[in-house]
C-alpha cells in the first residue's frame, strides 16, 4: 500500500534520513522503532508531506505522493497523528471530531450559506458518529470541553478519535500510547487491532514499548541514525544482535 | 448640532465601524490572520462605490456591490502570499498593502481626484426624505446592514467552514493533516472579510458624501484593532460592542475643548494616548475582551459515558 524507496532528508549537514526503504502492506500493522533521534518522526513528516524529501520516492496506492502538500496527501487517504498531540485549543472535543469528518459540503462558504439544510443534515449524521466514537474512547463525558483543557493522554485519545472519524485507508500513528494510562492504552491498542481486523486499515506505528510492538505488529522496521538497521517480524527483531545493541540493549 | 442629530451621527458611525470591526474580527478572531491593513478594504469599498456612481454614473446599488466585490478581490489578492509568508511577516505586508491603497488614492489623480478627494457623492433614496429626516433613514439602513452581516457571519462561523477557520487559527498543521486545504480556506475567509469591510466603506462614502485619502490613514486600522481588543475576539457581538465603546469615546471627546481649557490638537493627541492605554489595560486585565468567545455546546443526551 505504501512504499518508501531510498528516501533522504538532510538538515544542513545532518543526514536525518539516509536512503530509507520500507513498505507497508495493506491490512497490516507495521511497527517503526528506533532510538531517539533515529529519524522516525522525520520519516513520518516526509511521508505525510510536512517535510520535503531530498531524494527518493514515496508511492501510496500505486501513485507517487512525494511533492504533494500535506492536505493533498491526507485527501488521498493517508493520515497521520503527531507525537505531541495537537488539539485546537478553543474547539471542543466534539468539534474536533466533527472537524475530522470527510466530505463535508459545509466547508465551502457558499454551501454553508445557501445550502444550510443539507449541511445541517450531514452535520447531524457526523455528530451521531462522533458521539459513538467518543464513547468507545471514553471521552464522551468531555464532549463539550475545550480540547485545549484536556490532559496529554486525553489529547492522544482525541487524535486517534479524529483518525477514526476521518476513516482514511492508512494511518500513521506517532507514539499513540505515550502518556495514556496503561489500562486505557491497552484498550486503545485493542481498538487499533480491532479496526485493522474489521475495516482492513493499514497502520504504521511509532512505538517505544517493545511489548506493544510484539503484540500488535506483524512486521517491524528499525531505524538508527537515519538508516534502516533491520526489518522482520517482532520475534526476529528481538533476537537481532544489532538491534539489541542499538536500541533494546539496555532493557 | 442638536443632541438628536449628534446621537444619530454617533450611532451611524458605530454601525459603519461595527461592520469594519466584524470584518477584522472574522480575520483575526476566527481565522487567526493578523491584518494590519484593514483600512485598505475600507478605502477600496468607499472609493470604488463613489467613483462608480460619480464618474461612471452607475446606479447606487452597482456602486455598493462593486465596492464589495473589489474589496473582496483585494482580500483574495493579499492572502495569496500567506502560504509562503509566516504570519508576522504577512502582518507587515498587510500594513504596507493598506498604505499602498491610500497612496494610490492620493497620487492617481485621473482616477481618484488625489488629495482633493471625491465630492458630492450621492446618497441612496435621498429624494424621498426631507433634509432633517434623512440621517435617521440612513441610520436605519445601516442598522439593517449590520444585522444582515451579523446573521450571515454567524451562519458562516457556525458552519463547518467556520469550524475549519477556527481550527486553522489554533492548529494549522492539524488541519493540513486532516486534509483541509488551509490555503483556500484562508483566501475564502479574506474574501468574506473584504466584502464586509467593503460594504462598510461604501456606506461610509455615501453617508459622508465626501472622501479623501485623509479618511484612510493607518490610524483607522488601529482604531479597528482597539475595537476588537476591547470588545473581544472570536465573536461577532464583541466586535460591535468594541466599535460602540471606541466610537463613543472617539466621537464624544471632540466636544471636550468646549468645556475644558485644551486645544483641539491636544485633545486629538490625548485621545490616541488614552485608546493606547485602554488597549494595554485590556490586554493585561481582560485579554478576552468584554465579550468572550462563546463555546459551541452540543446536547448529546445523557447516556453515561465513562469519564476518568
Which tens digits make up the pLDDT trace of A17-72?
Answer: 999 999 999 888 999 998 888 999 999 999 999 999 999 999 999 999 999 999 99
Q: Which range is least confidently modeled, A175-189, B27-41, B130-144, B170-184? A: A175-189
C-alpha distance from residue A50 to each of A11, A71, A72, B289 (Å): 14, 9, 11, 35
Is the pLDDT reported for residue B12 higher than 50? yes
| Mean pLDDT score, A206-220 | 87
Residue (of A200, A195, A237, A198) closest to A219 by Cα position: A237
Residue (of B259, B232, B258) closest to B244 by Cα position: B232
Band the pLDDT of A250: cuts 50, 70, 90. Answer: low
A-chain residues within 8 Å CB-CB of B306?
138, 140-141
Identify whether A139 is part of a domain: yes
Which residue of chain B has the CA closest to A117? B159
The cell 457623492 sits on which residue?
B121
pLDDT > 90 fraction of chain A, expressed in percent and rounded: 63
- CA gap A218, A167 in Å, rounded: 21
Q: List chain B domain ranges.
A: 3-215
Contact A216, A31 (CB under 8 A): yes
- CA gap A239, A237 in Å, rounded: 5
Query: Which pLDDT value is given to residue B308?
Result: 35
Identify whether A156 is part of a domain: no
Is residue A80 located within the same domain as residue A173?
Answer: yes
pLDDT > 70 fraction of chain A, expressed in percent and rounded: 98
Assign residue A188 the CATH number of its domain. 3.40.50.300
Number of residues assigned to chain A: 251
Is the pLDDT reported for residue A251 higher than 50? no
Q: Label the pairing between strands A63-64 and A55-60.
A: antiparallel
Nearest to A94 among B185, B298, B303 (CB): B298
Which residue of chain A has the CA closest to B298? A144
Is residue A92 located within the same domain as residue A120?
Answer: yes
Cα end-to-end span (Å), chain A: 33
Is the pLDDT reported for residue B255 higher than 80? no
What's the total number of domains in chain A? 2
Is residue A227 located within the same domain as residue A115?
Answer: no
Task: Give A141 to chain B, closest Cα distance, Å.
Answer: 5
Is residue A241 located within the same domain as residue A172?
Answer: yes
Contact A48, A37 (CB under 8 A): no
Task: Give B233 to chain A, closest Cα distance, Å.
Answer: 12
Q: Label the pairing between strands A29-33 and A202-206.
A: parallel
Residue (of B183, B152, B186) closest to B34 by Cα position: B186
Query: Which pLDDT value is given to residue B2?
Result: 84
- CA gap B110, B83 in Å, rounded: 35
pLDDT > 90 fraction of chain B, expressed in percent and rounded: 78
As a whole number, the mean pLDDT across chain A is 90
Band the pLDDT of A180: cuts 50, 70, 90. Answer: confident
Which domain-ending residue is among A149, A175, A190?
Answer: A149
Query: Which pLDDT value is given to residue B65?
Result: 97
Identify whether A108 is part of a domain: yes
Number of residues assigned to chain B: 308
Is residue A6 located within the same domain as residue A81?
Answer: yes
Identify whether A187 is part of a domain: yes
DSSP 8-state code for residue B1: -
Give the number of other CB atoms < 10 A from CB of residue A50.
18
- CA gap B39, A31 in Å, rounded: 54
Is residue A82 located within the same domain as residue A133?
Answer: no
Nearest to A100 among B176, B178, B293 (CB): B178
Cell of A143: 464532549
C-alpha distance from residue A207 to each of A81, A203, B24 (Å): 13, 12, 44
Contact criterion met (CB < 8 Å) for A86 and B295: no
Cell of A73: 496527501
Identify whether A188 is part of a domain: yes
Contact status of B150 with chain A (Cβ, < 8 Å): no
Residue (of B30, B93, B40) closest to B70 by Cα position: B40
- CA gap B55, A130 in Å, rounded: 56
Query: Which pLDDT value is given to residue B223?
Result: 95
Rounded to 10 degrees, what is the CA torsion of B142, B143, B149, B150?
150
Residue (of B272, B182, B266) closest to B218 by Cα position: B272
Is B210 strand, coil or helix?
A: coil
Is residue A101 located within the same domain as residue A138?
Answer: yes
Domain that holds residue A107: 88-149
Is residue A143 located within the same domain as residue A243?
Answer: no
Q: What is the pLDDT of residues B208-241, one digit of tens each?
A: 999 999 999 999 999 999 999 999 999 999 999 9
Cell of B73: 478581490
The cell 446618497 sits on which residue?
B123
- What is the DSSP track for A76-132? TTEEE--SS----TTSBHHHHHHHH-S--GGGSHHHHHH-HHHHHHHHHHHHHHHHH
Chain center to CA of B282: 20
Which residues of B, range 160-199, sit inside 8 Å of A by Cβ? 160-164, 166-167, 169-171, 173-182, 185, 188, 192
Identify whether A161 is part of a domain: no
Task: Give A230 to chain B, closest Cα distance, Å.
Answer: 29
Contact status of B305 with chain A (Cβ, < 8 Å): yes
Q: Which residues pair with A203 in a beta bridge?
A: A29, A171
Is residue A60 located within the same domain as residue A79?
Answer: yes
Suggest the residue from A60, A88, A93, A124 to mutate for an interface test with chain B (most B CBs closer than 10 A).
Answer: A88
| Mean pLDDT score, B265-286 | 92
Band the pLDDT of B302: cuts 50, 70, 90. Answer: low
Identify whether A155 is part of a domain: no
Q: Which residues pair with B257 in a beta bridge?
A: none
- CA gap B97, A84 in Å, rounded: 37
- CA gap A147, A87 in Å, rounded: 6
Residue (of B121, B140, B293, B304) closest to B211 by Cα position: B121
Is residue A173 located within the same domain as residue A82?
Answer: yes
- CA gap A243, A229 in Å, rounded: 7
Cβ-count burial of B132 within 10 angstroms (0-12 exposed, 13-18 middle, 19+ buried)? exposed
Is the pLDDT reported for residue B274 higher than 80? yes
Cell of A179: 502518556
| Mean pLDDT score, B261-282 | 89
Is residue A241 located within the same domain as residue A221?
Answer: yes
Identify whether A137 is part of a domain: yes
- CA gap B78, B90 in Å, rounded: 9
Is the pLDDT reported for residue B204 higher than 70? yes
Cell of A217: 505488529
Nearest to B296 among A72, A82, A95 (CB): A95
Q: What is the pLDDT of residues A124-173, one digit of tens each?
A: 999 999 999 998 888 999 999 999 999 888 898 899 899 989 999 999 99
Is residue A126 located within the same domain as residue A178?
Answer: no
Q: What is the pLDDT of residues B97-113, one digit of tens each?
A: 999 999 999 999 999 99
Residue (of A188, A109, A74, A215) closest to B158 by Cα position: A109
- Does this model's pTM top 0.95? My answer is no
Number of H helices, E strands in chain A: 10, 10
Helix or strand run (H / E) with residue B8: helix B3-25
Strands ordered across the beta sheet of A55-60: A14-24, A2-11, A55-60, A63-64
Count Cβ neighbours within 10 Å for each residue of A26-42 and write b for 16 or more, e otherwise.
eebbbbbbbbeebbbbb
- CA gap B194, B200 in Å, rounded: 10
Amino acid at each position: 500500500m505504501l512504499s518508501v524507496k531510498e528516501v533522504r532528508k538532510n538538515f544542513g549537514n545532518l543526514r536525518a534520513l539516509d536512503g530509507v526503504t520500507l513498505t507497508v502492506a495493506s491490512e497490516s500493522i507495521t511497527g517503526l522503532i528506533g532510538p531517539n533521534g533515529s529519524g522516525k518522526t522525520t520519516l513520518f513528516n516526509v511521508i505525510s508531506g510536512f517535510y520535503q524529501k531530498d531524494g527518493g520516492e514515496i508511492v501510496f496506492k500505486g501513485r507517487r505522493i512525494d511533492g504533494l502538500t500535506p492536505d493533498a496527501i491526507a485527501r488521498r487517504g493517508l493520515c497521520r497523528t503527531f507525537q505531541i498531540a495537537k488539539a485546537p485549543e478553543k474547539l471542543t472535543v466534539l468539534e474536533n471530531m466533527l472537524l475530522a469528518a470527510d466530505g463535508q459540503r459545509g466547508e465551502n462558504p457558499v454551501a454553508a450559506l445557501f445550502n444550510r439544510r443539507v449541511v445541517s443534515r450531514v452535520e447531524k449524521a457526523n455528530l451521531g458518529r462522533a458521539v459513538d466514537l467518543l464513547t468507545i474512547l471514553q471521552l464522551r463525558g468531555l464532549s463539550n470541553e475545550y480540547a485545549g483543557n484536556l490532559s496529554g493522554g486525553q489529547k492522544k485519545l482525541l487524535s486517534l478519535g479524529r483518525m477514526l472519524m476521518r476513516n482514511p485507508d492508512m494511518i500513521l500513528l506517532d507514539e499513540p500510547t505515550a502518556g495514556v494510562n496503561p489500562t486505557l492504552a491497552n484498550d486503545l491498542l485493542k481498538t487499533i487491532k480491532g479496526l485493522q481486523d474489521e475495516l482492513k486499515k493499514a497502520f504504521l506505528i511509532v512505538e517505544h514499548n517493545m511489548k506493544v510492538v510484539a503484540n500488535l505488529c506483524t512486521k517491524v522496521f528499525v531505524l538508527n541514525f537515519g538508516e534502516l538497521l533491520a526489518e522482520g517480524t517482532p520475534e526476529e527483531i528481538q533476537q537481532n544482535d544489532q538491534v539489541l545493541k542499538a536500541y533494546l540493549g539496555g532493557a | 448640532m442638536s443632541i438628536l442629530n449628534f446621537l444619530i451621527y454617533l450611532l451611524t458611525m458605530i454601525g459603519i465601524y461595527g461592520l469594519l470591526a466584524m470584518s477584522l474580527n472574522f480575520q483575526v478572531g476566527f481565522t487567526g490572520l493578523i491584518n494590519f491593513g484593514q483600512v485598505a478594504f475600507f478605502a477600496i469599498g468607499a472609493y470604488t462605490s463613489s467613483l462608480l456612481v460619480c464618474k461612471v454614473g452607475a446606479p447606487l446599488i452597482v456602486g455598493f456591490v462593486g465596492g464589495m466585490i473589489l474589496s473582496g478581490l483585494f482580500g483574495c489578492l493579499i492572502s495569496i502570499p500567506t502560504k509562503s509568508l509566516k504570519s508576522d511577516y504577512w502582518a507587515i505586508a498587510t500594513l504596507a498593502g493598506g498604505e499602498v491603497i491610500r497612496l494610490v488614492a492620493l497620487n492617481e489623480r485621473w482616477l481618484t481626484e488625489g488629495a482633493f478627494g471625491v465630492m458630492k457623492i450621492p446618497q441612496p433614496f435621498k429624494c424621498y426624505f426631507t433634509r432633517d429626516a434623512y440621517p435617521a433613514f440612513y441610520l436605519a439602513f445601516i442598522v439593517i446592514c449590520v444585522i444582515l452581516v451579523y446573521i450571515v457571519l454567524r451562519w458562516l462561523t457556525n458552519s463547518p467552514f467556520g469550524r475549519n477557520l477556527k481550527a486553522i487559527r489554533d492548529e494549522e498543521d492539524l488541519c493540513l493533516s486532516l486534509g483541509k486545504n488551509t490555503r483556500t480556506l484562508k483566501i475564502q475567509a479574506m474574501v468574506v472579510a473584504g466584502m464586509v469591510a467593503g460594504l462598510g466603506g461604501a456606506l461610509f462614502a455615501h453617508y459622508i458624501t465626501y472622501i479623501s485619502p485623509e479618511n484612510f490613514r493607518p490610524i483607522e486600522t488601529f482604531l479597528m484593532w482597539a475595537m476588537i481588543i476591547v470588545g473581544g475576539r472570536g465573536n461577532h457581538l464583541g466586535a460591535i460592542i468594541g466599535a460602540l465603546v471606541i466610537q463613543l469615546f472617539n466621537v464624544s471627546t471632540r466636544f471636550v475643548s468646549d468645556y475644558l481649557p485644551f486645544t483641539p490638537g491636544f485633545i486629538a493627541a490625548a485621545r490616541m494616548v488614552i485608546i493606547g492605554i485602554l488597549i494595554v489595560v485590556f490586554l493585561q486585565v481582560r485579554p478576552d475582551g468584554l465579550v468572550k468567545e462563546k463555546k459551541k455546546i452540543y446536547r448529546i443526551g445523557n447516556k453515561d459515558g465513562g469519564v476518568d
